[in-house]
Amino acid sequence: MNKIALITGTRKGIGRGIAEHLLAKDWIIAGCSRRQADIAHKNYHHFCLDVSSEKAAMRMVRTVKKELGPIYALINNAGTASMNHLLLTPTQTCHAIFNTNVMGGFIFMRECAKVMTRQKIGRIINISSVAHPLNLAGEAVYASSKAAVESLTRIAAKELGPHGITVNAIGPTPIDTDLIRTIPKETMDALIQRQAIPRIGKIQDVTNCIDFLLREESEFVSGQTLYLGGIS
Amino acid sequence: MRPDRTELTKIILQTLQELGQDLEKPELQAADENTRLFGARCELDSINLVNFIADIEERISDEFNIHLILANQSAMSRSHSPFRRVSSCIDYVMELIAADSSTHE
C-alpha cells in the first residue's frame, strides 16, 4: 500500500523537490501552499492555505486522513526568510517569519501527531537551516526561527517517542531556490566557504536525508538535526 | 449542523468507553457523565487524556463538520479544568460549538 506524506510548502523549491521525489517512489502526497501548485500527478493532492492558520491546518490534516488514509509522514518544509540587519528589521517581518517557520510547523506537528499517535507510528521531519549553527549576520530573525524549530524537534521527539513517532530536522546549506536569490553572490560565496564541503547544496542532498529518515529501519533515530555540507 | 447535548453526550461517552476497551479498564467501559477524567482518582493518565481529546475532536469533525481545538487558551486558563469530569467536558464542548463561527456558515 502506498504510504501517505503531508508536505508543507510544495509549490516550489525544496518542498516541491521533495514532493516530486516521493511521488516518483509511489508515495501519495498531500501538499499545501498559499497559492495553487502545478504538480500534475495522480497521487498529488494540493491544498491552498496559510500554514499558520490553525483552522486551515486542522481541516487539511483531517481531510487527508479521512479521504486519503493514515498519514505516515509529515515534512514541515514551508518557510520564509528575510535578510536584514537587526536594526532595520520591521516587527511585522519578525512576526511573519515566526508565524510561518515556527507557528506553522508547530500547528502541523501537533495536528499530525494526534493522528499518528492513534496509528502508533509516524515520521515528522522539520526543515531547519545552517543559518542557525552558523549564526549568520543579517539573518537574526530567520536563524532564531530555525533555532526554535530545532528546539521543538528535540522536545517533540521526547514527547512523541513513546507513541512510535520519530521527530527529526534537516538543516540544508544554501540551495539554489527563490529563498536565496536576493542574497548577493559575495555573501553566498563567503557562506559556502564556511562549509566543510564548499559547494552549493542540491535538492537531492535533502531528499537523500529524507529517504534515510523515512525508512522503517530509522525508527531509533529521533530528536536529531542533520546538517548538510559538513556544518556542525 | 450543530449537535444537541444528547448527541454530544453520546459521542463523548462512546469515545471514552472505546478507549476503556483499548485500555482494558472496566470503569471507563461503564463511563457515565459523573466519570472523572483528569486529576486525582481518575482513570486516564495524561497521554490517554490527550488521545481522548484528539478522538473527540476527530469525531465532531467527521460527524458534524465542526473543526474544534479542545485544548485552547480558554480551557488551559480556567481554574477548574473542563476535563475533570465527563459532564464538565460536555458543557465545555457545547460552549465551543456555540462559539465556533464555522457552525454559523
Domains of chain B: 5-100 (1.10.1200)
Number of alpha helices (DSSP H) and beta strands (DSSP E) in chain B: 5, 0
Instruction: Read off the pLDDT of each residue in A81-100 and give the average, rounded to a whole number.
Output: 94
A138-143 LR contacts (CB < 8 Å, sep 24+): A138/A83, A138/A84, A138/A85, A138/A187, A139/A81, A139/A83, A140/A86, A140/A89, A141/A82, A141/A84, A141/A89, A141/A93, A141/A94, A141/A97, A141/A98, A142/A81, A142/A82, A142/A83, A142/A97, A142/A101
Looking at residue B43, what is its pLDDT? 76
Which residues lie below 8 Å from residue B104, measured CB to CB, with a gap of 6+? none
Strands (E), chain A: 4-8, 28-33, 44-48, 73-76, 122-127, 165-171, 225-227
pLDDT at A150 over 80: yes
Looking at residue A136, its amino acid is L
Q: A177: pLDDT confidence band, cut at 50, 70 and 90?
A: confident
pLDDT at A184 over 90: no
Model pLDDT for residues B9-54, shown as the tens digit of each residue: 999 999 999 999 988 999 899 999 999 988 777 778 888 888 899 9
Q: A211: pLDDT confidence band, cut at 50, 70 and 90?
A: very high
Percent pLDDT > 90 in chain B is 46
Domains of chain A by range and CATH? 4-227 (3.40.50.720)
**How far off is chain A from B101, nearest CA to CA, in Å?**
11
**How far off is chain B from A68, nearest CA to CA, in Å?**
14
Q: B105: pLDDT confidence band, cut at 50, 70 and 90?
A: very low
Q: What are phi and psi of A178, to 5 degrees?
A: -55, -30
pLDDT at A77 over 80: yes
Residue A61 or A178, more confident: A61
Model pLDDT for residues A106-137, shown as the tens digit of each residue: 999 999 999 999 889 999 999 999 999 999 99
Nine cell digits for residue A21 = 521525489
The CA distance from A26 to A28, in Å, is 7
Residue A181 or A17, more confident: A17
Closest Cα in chain A to B66: A59
The CA distance from A17 to A15, in Å, is 5
Instruction: Read off the pLDDT of each residue in A1-15 and give the average, rounded to a whole number.
Output: 95
Yes or no: say if A31 and A18 are a contact pair by the CB < 8 Å rule: no
Q: B103: pLDDT confidence band, cut at 50, 70 and 90?
A: low
Closest Cα in chain B to A120: B51
The CA distance from A168 to B79, in Å, is 36
Using a CB-CB cut-off of 8 Å, the residues of chain B touching A159 are none
Q: Which of A14-18, A189-193, A212-216 has the lowest mean pLDDT?
A: A189-193
- Strand, coil or helix: what is A202? coil
Using a CB-CB cut-off of 8 Å, the residues of chain A touching B57 are 114
Using a CB-CB cut-off of 8 Å, the residues of chain A touching B54 are 114-115, 117-118
Looking at residue B81, what is its pLDDT? 82
Q: A34: pLDDT confidence band, cut at 50, 70 and 90?
A: very high
Using a CB-CB cut-off of 8 Å, the residues of chain B touching A54 are 69
Residue B62 or A203, more confident: A203
Question: With a cut of 0.90, is the ipTM above it?
Answer: no
Nearest-by-Cβ selection for A117 from B51, B61, B102: B51
The CA distance from A72 to A122, in Å, is 5
- Quick check: A114 contacting B, CB < 8 Å? yes
Looking at residue A134, what is its pLDDT? 95
pLDDT at B71 over 70: yes
Looking at residue A209, what is its pLDDT? 98
- Quick check: A119 contacting B, CB < 8 Å? no
pLDDT at B87 over 90: yes
- Quick check: A162 contacting B, CB < 8 Å? yes
Nine cell digits for residue B23 = 485500555
Which residues lie below 8 Å from residue B14, measured CB to CB, with a gap of 6+? none
Using a CB-CB cut-off of 8 Å, the residues of chain A touching B47 are 162-163
Average pLDDT score over chain A? 95
pLDDT at A98 over 80: yes
Choose among A104, A88, A119: nearest CA to A15. Answer: A104
CB pairs under 8 A between A and B: 26
Q: Which of A26-30, A119-123, A214-218, B47-51 has the lowest mean pLDDT?
A: B47-51
DSSP annotation string for A76-92? E---------GGG--HH
Task: Please list the residues that pair with B85 across neighbouring strands.
Answer: B36
Q: B73: pLDDT confidence band, cut at 50, 70 and 90?
A: confident
Residues of B near A (CB-CB distance < 8 A)? 47, 50-51, 54-55, 57-58, 61-62, 67, 69, 102
